Structures are given as structure tokens and as C-alpha cells.
């Protein structure tokens, strides 16, 4: 029978519930257990797909096309498993399902209520991920205890223990232990109030993860234990870490995974953490600086590009490089000021996005990278901007653009496919999830991937216009990856350039800390070569060997 761990949080949002769940998942997987993680979000949107990145951060996309919370990215990166759209459920999707069932007469005329109908649907979403092939399901409940939106979820997980038995459920509560500077000490009162609030919903936590800026004393942990009725062994401290990837080691050293296994009566071997410790050692030793400019529209909220940043870091670990990201607002790139800022970069990333704002800046950055031999990686909208730049400035197609941004452009080198034009629901026109691409044998991207067939995740609506493909391919601009039917361009590259490569996909969603996405790995390698060319002593031995090979 599948065991269940429910992770809740109190006091404040962004304490790290998702990273706690992901870290615990990694530790349990290293004990030989089969682990799945899901996120229950209390907002009323059906999914985060239409939410502003400033509101919610990035939208993480699963292989099956689910537009999900960014915490699923943490889950996948930590437990190294591909999750599905079923690993993210929102209040909006739950209510939509219940209302649709009521409209179809499935409740036989009964009054539909939060209890039992909404709570039953929440429990159904949880049970969907259980089975003989899942030993442990970790469910993170979004929001904080005390929020009005979270109450149905708390009631659902309270009932869950009654349904499956006490030894099959463990409640882990993440709380804040702030340091109050005037008094010079950490305070436990926020944690006490948070636990009291959780108990008022009928849930007694089995374990408490105390988030703090610095380690707290055993005396404080004992105080929390006494006041929350949680065993001392179940009160663990998770202070701020130097890296996300240290967190599993921190909570393991505090004994969280062993305590959870004891609570759930799981008998396992100790976790094999040699590989994870080696990863952190490589991270600590990655000191060769490489400066990457990220040309974005949402740079004031770094979570909007979370998977891109982590993919750059993964590639940095691989090459022994410390990636320094220069967050550049796309609207600021045009003109001399932008050029001066781009000139000293070792590489440029042009990430995805929606809407016209900042597009001209991204186009300008693509052109600067092309003209000055700066490694440039385009992702989704990045491919489109690089295509537009080349069309305007090399092919001489005046006012070339995407029909998304300039419907009157005489040269819509980026356009909707005919099959998408009559779809009124914007979500219906999106290409979402994993799609296969055929790479041109011998091309740069084929060499990077080491294969001619790849699968990457997508989230976009507009495509490279095939009517212009012949004009591009008569030049150094090469369409080196396409859909199996040959209709859609998936990868482009520029012959003779150190690295001017783009994809219509989002390879950042499949990157792992110990297995970086191939395009990011190659991009950072090219950026290191540029950094070494300007400062030869910076070239690490591995990058030097790769360059020679």
C-alpha cells in the first residue's frame, strides 16, 4: 500500500515547502523507495497557464502537456522522475470537475457541498497517483495554514488518515523561526501559532521543519517539541543553505528521512548519498567564472526563469564553472547602452515569453551576439527573435516580424499554422508537452545531442513560417531540426558561428543537476571558450580538452 506524506506550511509563503518535499523525495528514493510527488494549489485558476509570471513565476510543463506550478520543476530535478499533469491540482480544476459532475447528474440530485464533494474530489486527485508501483506519495499543500482558500485541502488530508490508517500517513509542517535582531535571538512564537492553527483544523503534525537563517539550538528545538506535542526527533532545523542541492544533505543530517520512515513503518537501508555528496563537491569546486546575460521580460522576478537558471547552473557544475547571471531587462537592450552591457558577456540566453513588450530588445541582442561571435542560446521566443533578426538584417526582409506582434508585417517569418487560425480558445492553439524532432545528421545540434532524434517539451503558439524556409537555407542560417513530418522547424543554427543555436522547445524543463540539458551544456562550454579567449588562464582543464577534441 502506498504511504503518504503531506507537507504543509505556516507563517509565510516561500518558506521552502516545495524544496522540503523535493529533498525528502530524493532521500527516500536513495533508500530504494519508489517516490512520486504532487502539488495541491489553493488558487482558483484551473492551472497557472494564463497567469502573469510576475504573479506566479514560471509555468513548468510536463511531458504530457500539463501547465503546472514551478515546484514540479524542483520535484523532477531532485527525484529525477518525469511527472505528469496529475501531479498538480488546483482549486479551480477541482471545482470545475465537481461542477461538471453535478451538471451531468452524477450526484443524483443531492445538494453539492464543500464537504463531502469537494474534499472527496481532492482525495480522488491524491489517490490517482497511488498504486502498486508507488511506495511513497509526497503531497505538498500550497499556501499557508490560516488561509481561507486552504481549508478544504486541510480537511481532505485530515480525513485521509482516517481512511487509510494512521501508520500510512505522515504530516510534515514547515514553519519559520525568525531571528529578531534587537533581542539577538531566534523566536519560536510564529511556529507555535502555526502549529496551533494546524491543530485547529484537526491535524497534529508528526514532524516540524524549522526554517531559519542560521542554525538554531537544541534547546529551541526541545522547546518547540514540548509546545507542539511533536517528538524531539521530529523537530528538524533547515537553515538557509548555500545551494538548493545541499538541502537533502541538511535535512538528512537532521534525521528527517529516518523519522518519517519510522513514522510510516518503512524498513529500508540507509540512503546512498555518495552521488549527491559528489554533486555538491563538484558544485563547491566550480569556481571558473563565466558571465551569462539573460535577456528577459520578467527579470525583476527571477522565479520567472527558474528552470533556465537551474539548467545554466547544471551546465556550470558539469564544466566546473561558476555561472554569473547578468539579469538584463529586454527593453533596455536597444541602443548604445545595451551594446556596452552586452559586449563583455561570455554568452547570451534569450528565453521564452509571451507578448510584444521587450521583443525588439531581444531581437537586438540576437543581432549583437551574431555580429560579435558571442555564444547565444535561444529558447522558444528566443528562436523566433533570432529568426526575425536574421530576416531583417541579413536577408533584407524589411519589417520582417512575427504576426503575433505585427499582423501587418509584409514578411511574417513567424506565424500561426493554418490549422491554428480558427481556434477561438487560445489554449487550444498551444503546442504543449513533449514533441519529437528529427535532427540533421552532422549538424551542430545533432553533435550536441549525440543522436538524430530527440524529444523536448514545448509551450508556444507561433511557428517558423515554412514559406520562408528556402530563403533562410540559401544562407549560413540552417534549420537543423524539424518535426517528423517536416512541417515545423524545431532547431536553428548559424554555420561558422561559435554558438548561435536556438530551439522552439524548452529543454530547460528536462535538465538535471547531475545530467545537464545538452544544449545548455554545450552553450556553457562555448561561453567558457570565449571567456578563456579573453582571459586564457580561466579555461578549466575539462573545457580545454573538449575544445581540443
d(CA 350, CA 380) in angstroms, rounded, equals: 9
d(CA 505, CA 515) in angstroms, rounded, equals: 18
State the DSSP code for 114. Answer: I
Determine the distance from the C-alpha atom of residue 274 to the mean position of all C-alpha atoms in its chain, rounded to a whole number. 25
d(CA 437, CA 456) in angstroms, rounded, equals: 8
d(CA 266, CA 262) in angstroms, rounded, equals: 6
Distances (CA, A) of 162 to 134, 171, 193, 229, 423: 20, 13, 25, 20, 46
- Residue burial 23-55, b: 16+ Cβ < 10 Å; e: rest: bbbbbbbbbebbbbbbbbbbbeebbbbeeebee
Sign (positive or negative) of CA dihedral 429, 432, 437, 443 = positive
376 a catalytic residue:
no
Residue of 76, 246, 506, 529 marked active site: 506
Nearest to 416 by CA among 382, 479, 467: 467
Residue of 380, 385, 404, 479 marked active site: 380
d(CA 21, CA 374) in angstroms, rounded, equals: 39
508 a catalytic residue:
yes
238 a catalytic residue:
no
The count of other CB atoms within 10 Å of the CB of residue 472 is 21
**DSSP tally for the chain: helices H, then strands E:** 19, 23
Cis before 116 (ω within 30): yes
Determine the distance from the C-alpha atom of residue 543 to the mean position of all C-alpha atoms in its chain, rounded to a whole number. 27
Q: Which residues pair with 38 in a beta bridge?
A: 139
Task: Determine contact, residues 520/511, Cβ cutoff 8 Å.
Answer: yes
- Residue burial 190-205, b: 16+ Cβ < 10 Å; e: rest: ebeebbebbeebebeb
Residue of 155, 490, 508, 529 marked active site: 508
Strand order in the sheet with 412-415: 401-402, 412-415, 463-464
For the record, the C-alpha cell of 475 comes out as 544562407
- Give the residue numbers annotated as catalytic, written as ranges: 380, 506, 508
Amino acid at each position: 500500500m502506498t504511504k503518504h506524506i503531506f507537507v504543509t506550511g505556516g507563517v509565510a509563503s516561500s518558506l521552502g515547502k516545495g524544496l522540503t518535499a523535493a529533498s525528502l523525495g530524493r532521500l527516500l528514493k536513495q533508500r530504494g523507495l519508489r517516490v512520486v510527488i504532487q502539488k495541491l494549489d489553493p488558487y482558483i485558476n484551473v492551472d497557472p497557464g494564463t497567469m502573469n509570471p510576475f504573479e506566479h513565476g514560471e509555468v513548468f510543463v510536463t511531458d504530457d502537456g500539463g501547465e503546472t506550478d514551478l515546484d514540479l520543476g524542483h520535484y523532477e530535478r531532485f527525484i529525477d522522475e518525469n511527472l505528469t499533469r496529475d501531479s498538480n491540482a488546483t482549486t479551480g480544476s477541482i471545482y470545475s470537475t465537481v461542477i461538471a459532475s453535478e451538471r451531468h447528474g452524477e450526484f443524483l440530485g443531492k445538494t453539492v457541498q464543500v464537504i463531502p464533494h469537494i474534499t472527496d474530489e481532492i482525495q480522488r486527485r491524491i489517490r490517482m497517483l497511488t498504486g502498486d508501483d508507488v511506495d511513497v506519495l509526497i503531497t505538498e499543500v500550497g499556501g499557508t495554514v490560516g488561509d481561507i482558500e486552504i481549508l478544504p485541502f486541510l480537511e481532505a488530508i485530515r480525513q485521509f488518515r482516517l481512511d487509510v490508517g494512521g501508520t500510512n500517513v505522515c504530516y510534515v509542517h514547515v514553519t519559520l523561526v525568525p531571528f529578531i535582531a534587537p533581542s539577538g535571538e531566534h523566536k519560536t512564537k510564529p511556529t507555535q501559532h502555526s502549529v496551533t492553527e494546524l491543530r485547529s483544523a484537526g491535524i497534529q503534525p508528526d514532524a516540524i521543519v524549522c526554517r531559519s537563517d542560521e542554525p538554531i539550538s537544541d534547546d529551541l528545538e526541545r522547546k518547540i517539541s514540548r509546545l507542539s506535542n511533536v517528538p524531539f526527533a521530529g523537530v528538524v532545523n533547515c537553515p538557509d543553505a548555500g545551494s538548493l542541492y545541499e538541502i537533502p544533505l541538511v535535512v538528512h543530517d537532521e534525521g528527517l528521512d529516518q523519522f518519517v520512515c519510522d513514522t510510516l513503518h518503512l524498513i529500508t537501508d540507509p540512503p546512498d548519498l555518495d552521488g549527491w555528496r559528489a554533486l555538491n563537491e563538484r558544485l563547491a569546486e566550480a569556481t571558473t567564472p563565466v558571465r551569462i546575460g539573460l535577456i528577459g521580460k520578467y527579470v525583476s522576478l527571477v522565479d520567472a526563469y527558474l528552470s533556465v537558471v537551474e539548467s545554466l547552473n547544471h551546465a556550470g557544475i558539469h564544466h566546473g564553472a561558476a555561472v554569473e547571471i547578468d539579469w538584463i531587462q529586454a527593453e533596455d537592450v536597444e541602443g548604445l547602452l545595451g551594446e556596452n552591457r552586452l559586449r563583455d558577456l561570455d554568452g547570451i540566453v534569450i528565453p521564452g515569453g509571451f507578448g510584444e513588450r521587450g521583443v525588439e530588445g531581444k531581437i537586438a541582442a540576437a543581432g549583437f551576439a551574431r555580429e560579435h561571435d558571442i555564444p547565444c542560446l535561444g529558447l522558444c521566443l528566443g528562436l523566433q527573435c533570432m529568426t526575425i533578426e536574421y530576416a531583417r538584417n541579413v536577408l533584407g526582409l524589411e519589417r520582417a516580424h512575427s504576426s503575433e506582434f505585427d499582423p501587418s508585417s509584409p514578411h511574417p517569418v513567424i506565424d500561426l499554422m493554418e490549422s491554428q487560425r480558427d481556434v477561438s480558445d487560445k489554449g487550444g492553439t498551444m503546442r504543449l508537452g513533449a514533441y519529437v524532432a528529427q535532427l540533421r545528421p552532422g549538424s551542430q545540434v545533432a553533435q550536441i545531442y549525440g543522436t538524430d532524434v530527440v524529444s523536448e517539451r514545448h509551450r508556444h503558439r507561433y511557428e517558423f513560417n515554412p514559406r520562408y524556409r528556402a530563403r533562410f537555407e540559401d544562407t549560413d542560417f540552417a534549420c537543423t531540426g524539424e518535426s517528423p513530418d517536416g512541417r515545423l522547424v524545431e532547431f536553428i543554427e548559424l554555420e561558422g558561428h561559435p554558438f548561435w543555436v536556438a530551439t522552439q522547445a524548452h529543454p530547460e524543463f528536462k535538465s538535471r543537476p547531475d545530467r545537464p540539458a545538452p544544449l545548455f551544456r554545450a552553450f556553457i562550454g562555448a561561453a567558457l571558450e570565449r571567456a578563456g579567449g579573453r582571459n586564457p588562464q580561466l579555461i578549466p582543464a575539462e573545457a580545454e580538452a573538449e575544445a581540443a577534441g
